Amino acid sequence: MLIAPLLALLLLPAPASAAELTWDGFYRGRALAYDSLSLSDSNEASEKFSGSFDHRMSLRPAWLISEHASLHAQVDLFPFQLWGEQPSTYVDPVTGEETAIATADGTESVGAGLVATRAWAEAYTPIGRFALGRMPMEWGAGILWNDGNDPEDEYGDTADRLMFTTRIGPVFVFGAYDVQFEGFVGQEDDMQSASVGIGYRSETAGVGLLNIYRFQPSKSYNAYTGDLWAFTELGPIRAELEAVGVFGAGDLETGADDVDILSFGGMLDASYRTDKLTIGLEGGFATGDADPDDSKLHTFTFDRDHNVALVLFEETLPTLQTTVQNDSNEGRTTEAALTGDGLSNVLYLRPSVKYRLRPEIEGELSWFTGTMAAGPAATEGRKGYGNEIDLSVRYDPHPHVWVKGSAGVLLPGKYFTTYEDEDLGGGFDQPAWGLRLIGTVEF
């Protein structure tokens, strides 16, 4: 019941004395098909073909109250909800059971699928800008902080924070205080962090250093993260670098005590561009644990919205069918999964070629290959994740409207093909192909 009054408040014309309202956002419809995320045609729990359609509409209004103040929000409608996921139901008067209605009124529409994601206020002063509230986080190339506001993103980083930002010409500085976890009120069990960033940015070059100190007094947990970012454009050549190091110690919420954290991640993305042709090469690494059972943690994971392939490190592999299907497990299990939807414990390369066939049509062909950065003795000789070839075509028929189709095939490496789960078996040696179609209207 919240959608109608909220949209009425946002969309109705405002009085002349009210704040100026500006908009940003998009609607995206997406179709996905895979065969098979199980990487197997012999495993008894292989799910074979899977396909789905989903929605996402992101509304990002900003109320410009005056030259000194503004309010901002983000509201997501039907975020990643599958088509038909919320069927209309009625209670059978005879059996008392709730039954789905298979008619033209087959899905609920009122009060469903509304998520308030972010809301914050900004005040502008002679010394800089202050922001307070729940707001997006973004830095550099996005391997650590990524706001997730691109139509192809799925997650987005958000913080409850107080932030100050100022600029002196091309030099920018910001400081922020965040609360990541609020425990018991009155107890020193909150997870908090303080961040300071400083950098230089012009149209053709930039460099910055982000410093984050995260702490949780009740766990004696302290960690420092340093993130160095830089980019340059020299005619047709563009290069972007981001390198992250995490150093920490203490007890974790997972129950692990007296851990030492030392992990690193980084990427370099370089490209050469002409009017129609772009040749690119991205390479990166994320450290992993040689001994996952000790108290020294070395695994680094890229932000999940740093997307490099269609299947590998984008979908959970292998995904299998459950013995008993229900609404909570959606018929799937990831108990045998070796990789998730973020780059982790990996050394990788991704060469690519883009070509603009027409002003409104661009195609890209890429190859992704990766291997484990580190692993226990049991993985010796089976560190390769495999190779994936992806092809995508984007069509922009009108301003703010685009369609993108992607197809890819993953040839799993020995990390998958020689693996066998004690309970769910093995046979994870088959190629997996994926298809994705996205239609988007941005504003």
Which residues sit opposite 348 in a β-bridge? 284, 370
Any idea where the domains of the chain sit in the sequence? 26-56+72-113+201-442
Residue pLDDT, tens place only, 235-284: 999 999 999 999 999 988 777 888 999 999 999 999 999 999 999 999 99
Hey, what's the torsion of the CAs at 112, 118, 123, 128, to 10 degrees? -160
Contact assessment for residue 134 and residue 127, using Cβ atoms and an 8 Å cutoff: no
Tens-digit pLDDT profile for residues 185-238: 766 777 899 999 999 999 999 999 999 999 998 888 999 999 999 999 999 999
Which two three-digit tokens encode residue 330? 């959606």
Q: Tell me the pLDDT of the chain averaged across its residues.
A: 90
pTM as predicted: 0.88
Q: Is 379 helix (H, G, I), strand (E, B) or coil?
A: helix
Q: What pLDDT is recorded for position 391?
A: 98
Query: Per residue in 398-442, pLDDT tens?
Result: 999 999 999 999 999 999 999 998 888 999 999 999 999 999 999
Q: Which CATH class is domain 26-56+72-113+201-442?
A: mainly beta
pLDDT tens digits, 66-86 = 999 999 999 998 888 888 777
What's the pLDDT at 1?
A: 41
Give pLDDT, residue 257: 86
CA distances from 282 to 206, 277, 302, 308 (A): 19, 17, 14, 9
The pLDDT tens digits for 15-51 are 545 679 999 999 999 999 999 999 999 999 899 899 9
**pLDDT at site 4:** 47
Tokens found for residue 172 = 């920018």
| Residue 187, pLDDT score | 67
Q: Using CA of residue 60, residue 61, residue 63, residue 64, what is the dihedral sign?
A: positive
